[in-house]
Structure 1
Amino acid sequence: MIGVMGAGAFGTALAVSFARSGDVVLYARDAEQVREMRETRTNETRLPGVTLPEALEVTDDLARLGGCAAVLLSVPTQKLRGALEGARHVLAGKPLVACCKGVERDTQASPTRIIAETVPDATPAVLTGPSFAADIARGLPTALTLACADEVAAEGLQELLRAPHLRLYRTGDVTGAELGGALKNVIAIACGAAIGAGLGESARAALMTRGYAEMARMAEALGAEAETLAGLSGFGDLALTCMSEQSRNLRYGLSLGREEAFEAGVTVEGAATARAVQDRARGLGIEMPITDAVVALVAGELRVREAMDMLLARPLKEE
């Protein structure tokens, strides 16, 4: 049996997908949300139009995750530490698969590092790559990266998490997989801001390309493999997130570019991650001008056209 912690759109979508071929427990801490999902067999607020399979159990009883072979953590990165600290007695010793993308603001920790620090005897892993909740829930073809430093555990998880229309590629490069998923959100904000401000598709293409170069620089400095950044968890996720308005980070960038208020209550991982990444890059002596511009935009210190002028005014150099 597979467990999923977090009944947002992505957690629900994963639970629906895996419940088509086996039993799944979906945990949410909001008792009222659980009651509604049980009665309607939908999660209409977070994932409208999707029926929950009979094999999917929705619960607010944390202890139900104790009987699961592995637990997927679909909790925002900035809230992951708190969620795990309150559940370590149930999750101890299990494979825990982070399905969130980002870097913890105050500690610069990745999701798997947060897992290792809060549930030390768990086996940390990460599931990442180009995917939208609606596509996964509808059973549309999706390919993802499953990263785990323990090769035997990775093979077991790859088999356990088999699902129709969901193909998992295994890697031991956890650092690369996590960095790709985190950094692409920052670049997506920049792309959205450019489009929202009317700067055009050529500007988006330039930001994606130079943004990928920033991702690669940081990944190399932290010991990640170039092949990982060129794969699903890096380039693949970057392309999807920067091109589709299903991306919350892109939509947030659009709102910045249009100087409009963003959707209330919607988590934008890239906003908090940008500042954490900037701090880490400065500590490593790495230039990340697009990330710097996003931090300034989010803080209201620059407008989009000012940020673009700043990027265009940088010294000329070879690509």
Structure 2
Amino acid sequence: MSATTLPTRVAVLGAGSWGSALAALAAEHADTLIWARRSEAAAEINDTHRNTRYLPDIPLPDSLRATSDFNTAIDHVCAAQSDALIILGVPVAGMADICQKLAQSLAARRHPTVHVVWTCKGVQPDTGQLPHEVASAALSGLSGVELGVLSGPSFALEVAQGLPVALTIASHTASTGDIVLAALHSQRCRVYTSQDITGVEVGGALKNVMAIACGISDGLGLGSNARAALITRGLAEIQRLARALGGEAETVQGLTGLGDLVLTATGPLSRNRQVGLAIGQGRTLEDILAGGMTAEGVRCARAALALGERHGVELPITAAVCRVLFEGQSPQGAVAALLSRDSRPESPNSYR
């Protein structure tokens, strides 16, 4: 990789657990500034090199700096002498606002080529848009701005601890992939490239819903066989929707599909799985949310189901999760309904 590929400056917008972990990785390779909404969080990162709210007991690099002023973060990348990188570390719910704010800031400034990549996973509840559609609506008309999505099986805490991880950057421009590789790729973080933005985003969105389903199954004590069946048929469900939206089946078999699904459906750090476990053990969604636990799969489930209906794609596991979460069906009833579905060929090559 040539030295000219290396981004001279990186800005991470969002100081949650994943934004902070990625900022720590980027700070090893480039001048990196992280933007936090709360001034207290920015001060803590600058003064103690910690983000105790999201990554307790994890030291952040001394070279990583923080600000709570949005314009300062944008000025940081606009002052770069070569291509710069902006990582959006915000949830789907905040994607539209941050993209509009970013578009206004970049339009008002001279800047080098800026590569904007996002990490959120889900579907916009009100519009049914995937994250790339939200980003494109706000940013694709700006000169010198390239877009991409960063995804893959990753728990922020493990990345911040320095444990190995593999991610995928999907973009329609090779230069965006090169910039992300230069900023994040290392011996402990392998980054792969893809052009299939849709496939990557569908895998990232629906795996959270499938993790809730697996958690419910585990909470009911249905065993490893049931979990394996849900993961496998959940993967087929993800693949059907991805292909209907223009994504590639091969993408769903990779890191951002199968890999992310296995991690989120089985990993102890998965909030989506934890929500499902709690429901399977008899708690209500209202009680779980009131306790402060949040999971993107809860926000995504209905929007994903509506997206499938709009494109004529059957999503039985997603539909079952929606009935349990929002329509009062018991977990046991949802399982019985799934098991009572007619048998069908698993693949087109079946004899039936």
The alignment's TM-score, normalised by the length of structure 1, stands at 0.95
Which residue in the other structure is 2:81 paired with? none
**Match for 1:104 among 104, 124, 143?**
124
- Distance in 1, matches of 2:333 and 2:128, equals 28
- Distance in 2, matches of 1:32 and 1:152, equals 35
Are 1:296 and 2:323 matched, yes or no?
Answer: yes
Aligned residue runs from structure 1 range 78-227, under 5 A: 78-92=93-107, 94-120=114-140, 121=142, 122-227=145-250
Which residue in the other structure is 1:17 paired with? 25
Offset at residue 219 of structure 1 (A): 1.1
Over the matched positions of the two proteins, sequence identity in percent amounts to 40
Are 1:8 and 2:16 matched, yes or no?
Answer: yes
- Distance in 1, matches of 2:12 and 2:294, equals 18
Q: Is the 8 A contact 1:21 1:163 kept in 2?
A: no
List per-residue Cα deviations over 1:216-240 (Å, max 9, x = no partner): 1111111211111111010111111
1:48 is paired with a residue whose SS is: coil
List per-residue Cα deviations over 1:286-306 (Å, max 9, x = no partner): 111000011112114211111
- Distance in 2, matches of 1:27 and 1:298, equals 34
- Distance in 1, matches of 2:85 and 2:198, equals 21
Listed as ranges, the gaps of 5+ residues in structure 1 are none
**Match for 1:284 among 311, 329, 333?**
311
List per-residue Cα deviations over 1:161-192 (Å, max 9, x = no partner): 33441111001111111111111111001000
Are 1:70 and 2:78 matched, yes or no?
Answer: no
1:24 is paired with a residue whose SS is: strand
> Which structure has the larger Rg over C-alpha atoms?
2
User: Which moved further from structure 2: 155-164 or 189-198?
Assistant: 155-164
Q: Is the 8 A contact 1:65 1:71 kept in 2?
A: no
The alignment's TM-score, normalised by the length of structure 2, stands at 0.86
Which residue in the other structure is 2:288 paired with? 262
1:104 is paired with a residue whose SS is: coil
Which residue in the other structure is 2:36 paired with? 28
Moved over 4 A (4+): none
Q: Is the 8 A contact 1:218 1:286 kept in 2?
A: yes
Q: Number of aligned pairs? A: 319
Matched letter for residue 54 of structure 1: D
Matched letter for residue 187 of structure 1: M
Matched letter for residue 194 of structure 1: S
2:120 is paired with a residue whose SS is: coil
Listed as ranges, the gaps of 5+ residues in structure 2 are 1-8, 78-83, 108-112, 347-352
Matched letter for residue 203 of structure 1: A
User: Which moved further from structure 2: 135-144 or 155-164?
Assistant: 155-164
- Distance in 2, matches of 1:188 and 1:91, equals 37
Q: Is the 8 A contact 1:139 1:164 kept in 2?
A: no
Which residue in the other structure is 2:343 paired with? 316
Q: 1:282 to 1:192 in 2, by over 3 A?
A: same
List per-residue Cα deviations over 1:41-88 (Å, max 9, x = no partner): 211111111112111011101123222211111101122112222332
Offset at residue 6 of structure 1 (A): 0.8
- Distance in 1, matches of 2:184 and 2:146, equals 15
Are 1:272 and 2:299 matched, yes or no?
Answer: yes
Aligned Cα RMSD in Å?
1.6
2:57 is paired with a residue whose SS is: strand
